Each structure stands twice: as C-alpha cells, then as structure tokens.
C-alpha cells in the first residue's frame, strides 16, 4: 500500500510502522535511562542536604510516599478510576517491603557513600532470583546460583578494598537490596491480581501511614531549606517511577532491566563529581562491573 504525500517519497506502510516503532523503542530506552538517573539523583539530594540541614532518612521516605500518593490520586481522578484491591495480603507485603527497602537505602546514603549505597541497592535482582529459586521450583536454574555467587563477589570487592572487614554501616545497603528483593517478589505476585495504579495507591498511601506511625517524632513541619531538599529528593524519586513505567511500555524486559542496571555505572562514574564520593578504584570498579554483569545475565535469562 502506497501513501500519497507531496512531502514524503513513496514508501510502504510497513516501513512507516517500523520506523515509528523504532522511534518508540528509542524513547523507551531514553525514559528508562532517565529513570535510573532520577533515582540516583534523589540520593544525591540527600547527600547535599547534609551540608545545610539535618533531615532524618525516615522523613525523606515519608515525604516521597506522601508526594507519590498525591500524584497517584491525581492520575486516578483524571482517569476516573478508583483502586480495585483483591488480595490485601499481597498489597500489604509489597508496601512493607518497599518501606523497609527505601528506608535502608536512604540510611545507606546517610552513613556510606552515594555510590556504595546505589551499587549495593542494585543487587536486589540477585535476591529476587534467589527467592524465586528457593520458593518457586519451576524457576530453579544452576546459572542463577552462579550469578548470585558472581554478584556477591562484586559486593565483597566493593566493601573490602580499603579494609579487612565488613563495616556495619554498609549493611544498610545490603539490607535495602534484600528487602527490595522481597518487595519486587511481592510486586510480581500482586500484579497478577491488581492494576498498576491500585498497587501504587496502596504502596504510597499505606506506606505514608506506616512511616508516620513508626517515625512520627522525626517528622515535623519543615523549614524552607528542609522543604527544598525534601522536594528535590521526592520529585526525583517520583519522576524516576513514572519514567520507568513509561519506558517499559516500549522496551522489552531484557532491555529495560539492563538499562536500569546502568545506575550502578552512573553511581560509580558521577559519585566523585556530584556527591564528593571517594573514587572506587580498580578493585571497586571490578566489583561494580561484576554486579552489573550478573544483573544483565539474570535479566536476559528472565526475559527468555
């Protein structure tokens, strides 16, 4: 079939579809990569705030959830759709896991470097694979166990180059990855019964309530400076969430997973420039590349 357009040469319709699909694929890749940068930048804002104000990590988590809840409510109002919960235990499990993961992640940023916190947090696919291997018999794969060993070797190289033991502060990053793995495992189960907006509505809404109930003493009316850093962190995190949701509409799971893992490389590259992090060094870079490579292999096999 031909298209008659004086400003366009004769071209078949399938070619146009291919080009538009390719453009959407590029858009998806850019959106997923931008989401990785936004997630990283939200932690940079936490590091910047330490030079000016004193804000508890729980306050950053609370503000991010509260802002996300308002955004999800606005989206639901515009779409004229409400939440449709079916399996409450899955929604609650996802929420609790995400609360713990984000809190531990922000604690890792507070007590370690931004680069180390992000790299350790991005080991969560390893824990998702490990949980799937233990709990789901049909997903047991010898390669998964090998990649888990490779990733943990990378973690050890990152934590051990400058010292002979594991610092307790580094455990925050590892705990964030473990709890994030549990949260993603619950998310996979929950998405079999709920739409995305329902999951986000309960995650942000119930998460806000949980964070305030547990850490209400750390949550007060913010000053202008505190509000400034809370907004940078919160907006960056929410932007990352929406960008990754947009991007995964136009890329495959393998492409999206690999691009998301570039947050490891972003943290290693930009840490000294944006967050005054110490350089990783050769051994640290080797560890980061091992974690990145394990994520790529696991994502590719999951996509297959």
DSSP code of 217?
A: G
pLDDT of amino acid 228: 96
3-state DSSP of 1-65 = CECCCCCCCCCEHHHHHHHHHHHHHHHHHHHHHHHHHHHHHHHHHHHHHCCCCCCCHHHHHHHHH
Mean pLDDT of the chain: 81
Higher pLDDT, 55 or 180: 55
CA dihedral 56, 54, 70, 176 (to 10 degrees): -40
Q: What is the percentage of the chain residues whose pLDDT exceeds 90? A: 33
Q: Is residue 147 scored above 90 in pLDDT?
A: no
Higher pLDDT, 42 or 3: 42
The mean pLDDT value for 246-256 works out to 71
257-295, pLDDT tens digit by residue? 778 888 888 888 888 888 888 887 888 888 888 888 887
Q: 128 with 185: CB under 8 angstroms?
A: yes
Q: Is 265 exposed, middle or buried (0-12, 13-18, 19+ CB in 10 A)?
A: middle
32-81, pLDDT tens digit by residue? 899 899 999 999 999 999 989 999 999 999 999 999 999 999 999 998 88
Burial 69-78 (b: 16+ CB within 10 A, else e): bebbbeebee
Helix (H, G, I), strand (E, B) or coil at 141: coil
Strand partners, 2: 12
pLDDT of amino acid 60: 96
Strand partners, 12: 2
């Amino acid at each position: 079939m031909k298209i008659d357009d004086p400003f366009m040469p004769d071209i078949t319709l399938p070619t146009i579809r291919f080009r538009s699909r390719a453009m959407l694929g590029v858009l998806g890749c850019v959106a997923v990569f931008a989401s990785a940068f936004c997630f990283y930048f939200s932690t940079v804002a936490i590091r910047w705030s330490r030079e000016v104000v004193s804000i508890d990590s729980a306050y950053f988590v609370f503000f991010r959830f509260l802002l996300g809840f308002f955004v999800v409510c606005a989206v639901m109002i515009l779409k004229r759709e409400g939440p449709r919960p079916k399996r409450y235990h899955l929604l609650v499990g996802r929420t609790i896991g995400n609360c713990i993961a984000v809190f531990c992640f922000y604690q890792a940023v507070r007590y370690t470097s931004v680069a180390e916190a992000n790299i350790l947090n991005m080991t969560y696919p390893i824990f998702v694979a490990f949980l799937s291997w233990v709990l789901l018999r049909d997903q047991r794969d010898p390669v998964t166990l090998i990649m888990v060993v490779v990733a943990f070797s990378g973690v050890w190289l990152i934590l051990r180059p400058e010292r002979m033991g594991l610092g307790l502060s580094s455990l925050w990053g590892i705990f964030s990855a473990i709890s994030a793995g549990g949260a993603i495992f619950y998310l996979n189960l929950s998405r079999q019964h709920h739409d995305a907006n329902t999951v986000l509505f309960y995650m942000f809404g119930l998460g806000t309530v949980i964070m305030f109930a547990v850490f209400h003493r750390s949550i007060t009316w913010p000053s202008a400076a505190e509000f400034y850093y809370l907004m940078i962190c919160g907006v960056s995190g929410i932007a990352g969430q929406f960008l990754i949701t947009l991007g995964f509409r136009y890329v495959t799971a393998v492409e999206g997973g690999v691009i998301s893992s570039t947050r490891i490389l972003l943290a290693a590259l930009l840490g000294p420039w944006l967050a005054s992090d110490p350089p990783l060094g050769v051994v640290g870079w080797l560890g980061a590349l091992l974690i990145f490579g394990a994520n790529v292999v696991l994502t590719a096999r999951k996509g297959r």
